[in-house]
């Protein structure tokens, strides 16, 4: 089992719809959780992070964390073609100061 798992996609959503991305992790003691967006040929860009159970909203993005079930999700509302990218989930494990990344989910927003 990988430490951080994501569906590779592509996740195809129509413009204006909600894109829902999921990420599961294996270390139950993980502390903090991050979502990065990476456009093709570019480096990752931090979208948001969450460390408490529940929802955290920032603009069109909402991160949801459920530590009991060991998953974190990202919702993108009113999806735009410019949201087409690979979204990386990253987890800070209980012991350590480095992030463990999932393989990423490719999202395609179609006009």
Partner 1 sequence: GAVVSQHPSWVICKSGTSVKIECRSLDFQATTMFWYRQFPKQSLMLMATSNEGSKATYEQGVEKDKFLINHASLTLSTLTVTSAHPEDSSFYICSARPVTYSSYEQYFGPGTRLTVT
x/- string (CB under 8 A) for partner 1, residues 48-67?
-x-x----------------
Q: Residue 43, interface with partner 1 (CB under 8 A)?
A: yes
- The answer to whether 110 and 17 have CB atoms below 8 angstroms apart is no
Query: For the window 88-107, what string marks contact with partner 1 as x by the rule CB under 8 A?
Result: x---x----xxx-xxxx---
SS3 53: coil
Q: Minimum distance from CB of 26 to partner 1 (Å)?
A: 16
Residue 60 CA to residue 91 CA, distance in Å, equals 22
Rule CB under 8 A: is residue 36 a binding residue for partner 1? yes
Residue 23 interacts with partner 1 (CB under 8 A): yes or no: no
Residue 5 contacts residue 100 (beta carbons within 8 Å): no
CB-based contact 97:84 (threshold 8 Å): no
How far apart CA 104 and CA 34 sit, in angstroms, is 12
Contact residues: partner 1, CB under 8 A: 31-32, 34, 36, 42-46, 49, 51, 88, 92, 97-99, 101-104
């Amino acid at each position: 089992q990988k430490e951080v798992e994501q569906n590779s996609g592509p996740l195809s959503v129509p413009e204006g719809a909600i894109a829902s991305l999921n990420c599961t992790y294996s270390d139950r003691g993980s502390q903090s959780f991050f979502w990065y967006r990476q456009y093709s040929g570019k480096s990752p860009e931090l979208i948001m992070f969450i460390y408490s159970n529940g929802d955290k909203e920032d603009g069109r993005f909402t991160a949801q964390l459920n530590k009991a079930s060991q998953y974190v999700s990202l919702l993108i509302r009113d999806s735009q073609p410019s949201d087409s990218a690979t979204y990386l989930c990253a987890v800070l494990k209980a012991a350590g100061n480095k992030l463990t990344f999932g393989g990423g989910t490719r999202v395609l927003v179609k006009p």
